[in-house]
A and B are shown apart, each in its own frame.
Chain A
Amino acid sequence: MYYSQCIRKLFLVGVFLLPSFVWGQVSGTVSDAADRQVLQGVTLQWEGTTSGTVTDGKGFFSLVRNAKHHRLLVRYAGYRTDTVIIHSDTSLALRLHALSTNLKKVSVRGRRKASFSKMSSLQQTEVITTEGLRGLACCNLGESFENSATVDVGYADAVSGSRQIQMLGLTGVYSLMLLENVPFLRGLSTPFGLGYVPGQWMEGISVSKGVATVKNGYEAITGTINLEYEKPLKGDRFTLNLYENSDLKSELTAKLNHRINEHLATGLYLFGTYDTRRTDHIGHDGFADYPLQRQFNILNRWDYEGHGGFHSQSLVNYTHEKRLGGEMDFEESMRGNDSIYGFGGTTNRLFFSTKNGIPLNSTSSFGSQVSASWFRQEAYYGLSNYSGEEGDLYVNLLVNAEVSGGHIVDYGVSLRYRHVDNLLHLLPTDTSQLAIFNYKHKEMIPGAFGQYTFRYGDDFNATAGLRYDYNSFHRRHLLTPRLHFRWHIGNQLVLRGVAGRGFRTPDYIAENIGLLASGRRFKANSPLALEEAWNAGANLTKKWKLADERELTVAIDYYHTRFVSQTVVDLDQSAYEVLFYGLDGKSYSNVLQADINIEPFDGFSVSAAGKVNDVWCAYNGTLMRKPYTSFWKALMVLSYHTRFEKWRFDLTTQLNGPQRLPLNKGEMQGDAPAYLYMLGQVTRRFKHFELYAGVENITGHVQQHPIIGADAPFSQAFDASVIYAPLMGRLFYIGFRMNVL
């Protein structure tokens, strides 16, 4: 007979007491409430006395009971101070809640849920867990948001395969992509960047909506996406993933983790993808549906957790990618030929980051983040050639300190140096004149920030932050105020609010590189000014506990973004031109979203979401909807697993609302219709490995003619940048995953 007892949800339990047989003594362990890792160096002190102790490397403590004082204070830097009242000899398993996630990792391992919204975080945060990623084919980051209504992913054009995200109805450049809290994909890496993150390297993704706190710079206007890669101290010794799809695309992921000693561990992660076949199922226009893609990606990381709470995480990542697309018969050697249209691109990217943290005393800690990246891309779209190079160096030093009354102060300084060199030889048609755009700039951005977190018990916290930066390129002094609050009204009902300002340097060529796949001429007023916007929003989340530890969560949120200055990409004045100019008039976005998550019975979960995007911008004095932004979106995710997760079934249904198309030369004008997109996967788990098989785009709905003027690619009639529906037909895949603990 099977004997099963429901496992108590330990996450939300602050303290629980267990009887003890030792007299006159209190002992126990202290661990993190979120990831259950034991905490070393936690101070335990009888309130009003000087007697106390500190936990050892295993999170243990034991101390003699005090006859007069019964209140035991439990303190640890970066965590909320807890008080335990003790009247008898006990053994305790204490859990502390992290105050900020800046120096702390958000670990989602062990939580058997595909995604969940955090109740305790300051900002509205949705976490996509390893479990959630396992239910998707997740070749790369671009495919990891299929079950999230917050992040939309779309294609930039029909030849390069580049995908871009949208958050709060605005392109991904206005949000900030972090890797373990260090800025990761920004600047020139943005257009193809989602492809540089292998899905199998990640152990979780946190998506936070609205302006971020001031700690990570003046960007992150619409939100932050924080990626967590596997940690060598905790990860499995060896993991292997093989994937093959019906278009003969092969992928391999291998992860090796080695623990050198109890403090030091290293990880080596590899990823490779190889396409062997081009297909022309869509449009039958002589153009490949998807470019041939070859990628090699390697990452080496080192984690050190020393005595006294010192910890260090360093990683280096190299990505090499080659793409080849365009007409089916095009080969690389035909580049520059004006009788056959081809697309090609080579990218090399090197990224290094190191994070170090040390407690200064029992209530404060110091952290440093240093990152450096080098990026080089060469691409050609027909006769146009583009090359972009970028170097980025970033140093951020932070102090986190608890002041009297449990309030928190964070302050720090940062310096960013960025050098960009874009060279575009634009020849959209074989009869047009060659236009050369050389956009170079160097930015030096020194800055300082301070932030105060006011706390009232566990139920209310508010953070007010201000940062000052100087941007040497734009020669501007920038003040960035940001405000956040979280109020637990009671009974698992949480209200959150956020407001703040943000800035960003636009890279208009790289960010709109998909437009090179068209006969449009570029016209730019340069230099383009720094972009500036205000963002504000509110969120209400309510959680109900159902029987058998199941939960029902309902969340509703609304965010507003308003631009003060913006680089407008105007496709509506002419179908033969794209104009870049500074905003003159209004530009704003309003986004309303509602989410429901429920587990009707053990093993089965349903999440449904609906979203309305209302995004407008003034184009040459006329207020119009922003093109390629769905007016609304509906999403339903069904997930079922049998006992012990031997079988797992996932089905996602997305209904993408209509979107406005810009003026173009094709048949489809005005608003493009809504469409349905479905994907599903079955996973079977065995003792040491698992097999999965799935279908992407189950209904097979695709854009019928993604390339306008495909028969004359070097004329003005050509345009492969008008994309409003999926570009991949029904796709089957199978995979194999194994791990050695």
Chain B
Amino acid sequence: MKKTVIILIISIAFLSGNAFAQKKNTKTAEIAIPGYCCKGLNKTIENTLAYERGVVEWTLNPEKKSVTVVFRDGKTTADKIEKALAENGVRTANHKPNPRAIEKLPACCQPAAKGESGNCKH
């Protein structure tokens, strides 16, 4: 019984230590998505981030047209994440989206992804 308790305490300590370590090594970046049109784009953004190495968590900011990403430093960079988004058709500040991926976005999000403005007002 005692042993179990000790193991439990150790593992909790280890886990929380790990969590601390994680927090220490993480960075937070706000990635601007100028092509953000409506929540139709959320699925593409989330599906990209979910499969990105080093991404810990994220928050979408539809009003600000951006996404706040928490990632592990050393495993990835904000630029890499931006690149991955662009590869899946999402236009970011520094990277042009993959034209084939744009075709797969909802129709209302396509013009904005191509950098054509004036049709997606929110």
Residues of chain A at the chain B interface (Cβ within 8 Å): 1-5, 7-8, 10, 18-22, 27-29, 31-32, 36-38, 58-60, 91, 93, 95, 109-110, 233-234, 236-237, 259, 643-644, 646, 685-687, 741
Contact = CB atoms under 8 A, between A and B. Distances in A.
B60 A3 contact: yes
A561 B47 CA distance: 47
Nearest to A16: B108
7 contacts: A1-B57, A1-B59, A22-B118, A36-B107, A58-B114, A95-B107, A234-B103
Given A3-B60, A7-B42, A644 B101 contact: no
A90 B52 CA distance: 38
A687 B76 CA distance: 14
Given A2-B58, A3-B60, A18 B122 contact: yes
A58 B122 CA distance: 20
Given A58-B116, A91-B119, A29 B108 contact: yes
A5 B63 CA distance: 14
Contact of B107 (A3, A7, A38): A38
B40 A110 contact: no
A643 B50 CA distance: 9
B57 A2 contact: yes
A7 B120 contact: no
B98 interface: yes
B91 to A, nearest CB: 15
Given A4-B42, A687-B51, A93 B107 contact: yes
A21 B57 CA distance: 34
Contacts of B107: 29, 31-32, 36-38, 59, 93, 95
Interface of B: 38-40, 42-43, 46-47, 50-53, 57-60, 87-88, 98, 100-101, 103-104, 106-108, 110-111, 114, 116, 118-122
B40 A8 contact: yes
A595 to B, nearest CB: 28
A236 B100 contact: yes
A239 B57 CA distance: 30
Nearest to B61: A3
B100 A237 contact: yes
B87 A741 contact: yes
Closest 10 CB pairs of A and B: A31-B107, A644-B50, A36-B107, A687-B51, A93-B108, A3-B60, A3-B59, A5-B39, A20-B121, A7-B43
Contact of A28 (B38, B51, B88, B119): B119
B121 A10 contact: no
Contacts of A37: 107
A261 to B, nearest CB: 12
A29 B118 contact: no
A91 B110 contact: no
Nearest to A234: B103
Contacts of A687: 51-53
B119 A686 contact: no
Given A2-B58, A58-B111, A10 B40 contact: yes
Nearest to A19: B121
A7 B108 CA distance: 13
A166 B20 CA distance: 62
Contact of A646 (B50, B87, B98, B121): B50
Nearest to A35: B107
Given A1-B59, A2-B57, A29-B107, A644 B51 contact: yes
A5 B58 CA distance: 13
A21 B121 contact: yes
A7 B59 contact: no
Nearest to B62: A5
B56 to A, nearest CB: 10
A644 B47 contact: yes
A20 B59 CA distance: 27
B118 A27 contact: yes
Nearest to A32: B107
Contacts of B58: 2-3
A38 B103 CA distance: 10
Contacts of A93: 107-108
Given A234-B100, A234-B104, A741-B87, 13 more contacts: A1-B57, A2-B57, A3-B58, A3-B59, A4-B42, A5-B42, A7-B39, A18-B120, A38-B107, A58-B111, A95-B107, A687-B53, A741-B101
